[in-house]
Structure 1
Amino acid sequence: MERRQLGQTDLMVSKVCLGTMTFGEQNTEADAHAQLDYALARGINFIDTAEMYPVMARPDTQGSTERFIGSWLKKTGRRADIVLATKIAGPNKMMPWIRGANHNLDAANIRAAVEDSLRRLNTDYIDLYQIHWPSRNLPIFGANSFNPEGERPAVPIAETLGALDELVRAGTIRHIGVSNESTWGVCQYIKQSELLGLPRIATVQNLYNLTARHFETSLMDEACYRERVSLLAYSPLAFGQLTAKYLDDPNASGRLTIFPKNWSPRYVRPRVLEATAEYAALARAHGMTPAQMALAWCYSRWFVGATIIGATNLTQLKENIDAAELVLSEEVVKGIEEIHARYTNPGQ
């Protein structure tokens, strides 16, 4: 499988990254180990997780995803074969079980989070450590406009970078990245790292799929190109919506039916459903499944360092990985752009 360099680092990763947020909720430990075995057999060397996983977040399952990866690493001894990425949770009073209701991105929290992740993962270093979401006020997770009234006290980016610098120097993390960030935030991280001689972010892990292409229209693509920051595209199938399985069967098993309906409303907006129907028809008219087309399109984007896929069974995982070998025709790409012009970012 093709490998790509992350930012300006020495990390060379498969263009397909195995996302693991189902491990511990929709997948058992045995399922998780089977997926990891299969992913590596297919050439994937990049694994992404987070301290808050699995989704949906609950106190009795938090950390299970990292523990399942850790037990697999202990069993297989394959730590040197993977690039391992995890994330620290930003502030969220709704998850007080993660270092208390006032957890944030200060030095004490970062040190504690890294220590906990290392223990659960059964490793002594993390290849890519990411800020899951910012400390400051920012429209994310379905919000699509900035509201100054939401301002709150925030840990300065320089302070967060300083804490990460200590861990890089200690060797417990190798490189750093951000997630759910804005163009301004990415540029501020770069600015502060250059001003203060602190570690430079290599990646930004943001939402990107056929219904959510804000990365292209917010000047994030230019900023990341010029600053050599790689996009790690998450939710390339829009929580399964772009597979068209819910279009074919509204009661199909998946996150959009087994989790509360208000948990992620952006993926069930009327225009998302309309766009999904058009993308599905285009894919099927050209002999592909909707999932294959959506993933092949994402894999092919010039600014995507890696696309994070998730699956609840090996059949889904195989289809998702197989799509990396597809090359979309000019006719299909033209069709995608025509649909996008009619339904511009309904899932953003």
Structure 2
Amino acid sequence: MKTTTLGASNLTVSTICLGTMTFGEQNTEAEAHSQLDYALERGINFIDTAEMYPVMPRAETQGRTEAAIGTWLKKSGKRKDVVLATKAAGPSRGMRWIRNGENDFDAKNLRAAVETSLQRLQTDYIDLYQLHWPSRNAPIFGQTSFDPQKERPHVAIEDTLAALDELIKAGKIRHVGVSNETAWGVCEFIKQAEAKGLPRIVSIQNAYSLVNRSFETGLDEACYRDNVGLLAYSPLAFGQLTAKYLDDPKAAGRLTLFPPTWSPRYLRPAVMEACRRYAELARAHGMTPTQLALAWCYSRWCVASTIIGATSLGQLKENIDALSIRLSDDVIAAIDGIHAQITSPAQ
């Protein structure tokens, strides 16, 4: 397993990160522990979670993912062997069960979010604390353009950084990152940190896959120049890039278990067509569609670590094994050809 230094931090992380948002919904606690054990056996030292998880978000299950990781940390005694990342939920009218619907990034809310995450995780500190989505109006979760008509009150970035600075000084978190951010957001976080002597973000967790390469339209340069590492999530596009739904529209997975209104960007006709073409390309070159999608993501210069998730150890093994696959120049050219015709349909 390869490792890298995450952004401008002192965190050494594996280039594959174990995503955990199925723990507590699609996976039992025992299955979660088995995945964590196997990931460490394979050299993965990086675990990502969130206070919102598991998905899809529900009041009845919220916090179960962190709790499952917490019981594993206590049982295994492996806390010092892992880099632990979690996320604070941003504003959402649909999740009023998180801090009574006051989930934002002011000092009071961040302190409460950190304290409850620490309790569930059964640890004294979090290595990487991330803002799950912006406080401000921004084009995220499938929105393809910025809409000024959606402006709303929000917590200023400098105020959020000041609150995070206090949590770092208290020893509760070590480094900070953002998620579902834009190029403007990354630059503003860096600008405010440098101007006011506040913590610099070291990472950005954004969707990045064969069907969503929007990171390459400005965010890549911003993160390169400001030394912010990309944690690529949904590299398999909610399972679409495995071609399992193409082979069997009723296959078990998030896109059939949960309402289509929860993840509409992965159900667009253009996404289905792109996934069909990538699957054909993979199979024509003796690979599974999963192997092609992950090998491509693992090879990208802009990715610090790729977040993979699974509901079985077999899936997890295939996902990790794809790290050994090297795509030929011809395959890369074919990928870019499909991308040119169907550009980032899941953006």
TM-score (norm 2): 0.99
Partner of 1:334: 333
Shift of 1:262: 1.5
> What's the CA shift string for 1:34-64, capped at 9, x where partnerless?
0000000000000000000000000010000
AA partner of residue 303 (structure 1): C
Task: Indicate the residue corresponding to 2:72 in structure 1.
Answer: 72
Could you tell me how far apart the structure 1 residues matched to 2:234 and 2:266 are?
Answer: 10
Deviation by residue 1:179-232 (Cα, 9 ceiling, x = unmatched): 000000000000000000000000000010000000001x11111111000000
- Following superposition, the deviation at residue 261 of structure 1 comes to 1.5
Q: Secondary structure at the match of 2:204?
A: strand
Q: 2-side partners of 1:270 and 1:65: how far apart?
A: 32
Secondary structure at 2:127 match in 1 = strand
**Greater CA drift, 71-80 or 99-108:** 99-108
Equivalent residue for 1:302? 301
- Calculate the TM-score normalised by the size of structure 1: 0.99
| Pairwise CA distance, 1:142 | 1.2
Distance 2:104 2:280 in 1: 44
Structure 2 counterpart of 1:61: 61
Identity of aligned residues (%): 68
2: CA distance between counterparts of 1:142 and 1:223?
Answer: 21
Q: What is the RMSD computed on CA atoms of the aligned residues?
A: 0.5
Shift of residue 103, structure 1, vs aligned partner? 2.2
How many angstroms does 1:101 deviate by?
1.8
Match of 2:52 in 1: 52
Deviations 1:281-314 (A, max 9, x none): 0000110000001000001100101000000000
SS class of match (2:203): strand
- 1:19 maps to what in 2? 19
Tell me if the contact between 1:93 and 1:102 (Cα under 8 Å) persists in the aligned partners: no
Aligned to 2:179: 179
1:120 alignment partner in structure 2: 120
- Once residues 220 and 134 of structure 2 are traced to their aligned partners in structure 1, the CA distance between those partners, rounded to angstroms, is 19
SS in 1 for 2:101: coil
Note if 1:238 corresponds to 2:259. Answer: no
- 2:310 counterpart of 1:311: yes
**Greater than 4 Å deviation, 4+ residue runs:** none
Unpaired runs of 5+ residues, structure 1, are none
Query: Separation in 2 of the partners of 1:139 and 1:224?
Result: 18
SS of 1:250 mapped into structure 2: coil
Q: Which residue of 1 aligns with 2:271?
A: 272
Q: Output the amino acid matched with 1:274.
A: E
How many equivalent residue pairs? 347
Q: Is the 8 A contact 2:18 2:48 kept in 1?
A: yes
**Code of the aligned partner of 2:232:** A
Q: Which residue of 2 aligns with 1:42?
A: 42
Equivalent-residue separation in structure 1 for 2:260 and 2:78 (angstroms):
39
2:110 corresponds in structure 1 to: 110
**Distance (whole Å) between structure 2 residues aligned to residue 103 and residue 300 of structure 1:** 36
Provide the C-alpha distance between the structure 2 equivalents of 1:240 and 1:140, rounded to a whole number of angstroms. Answer: 20
TM-superposed deviation, 1:102 = 2.8
Aligned to 2:196: 196
Deviation at 1:322, TM superposition (A): 0.2
CA distance in 1, matches of 2:75, 2:83: 17
Aligned to 1:229: 228
Distance 2:147 2:171 in 1: 39
In structure 2, runs of 5+ residues without a counterpart are none
Instruction: Specify the code of the residue in structure 1 equivalent to 2:294.
Output: L
What is the match of residue 263 of structure 1?
A: 262
In 2, Cα distance between equivalents of 1:28 and 1:261? 24
The answer to whether the 8 Å contact 1:91/1:104 transfers is: yes
Are the equivalent residues in 2 in contact too, given 1:127–1:175 (CA < 8 A)? yes
Further displaced range: 139-148 or 57-66: 139-148
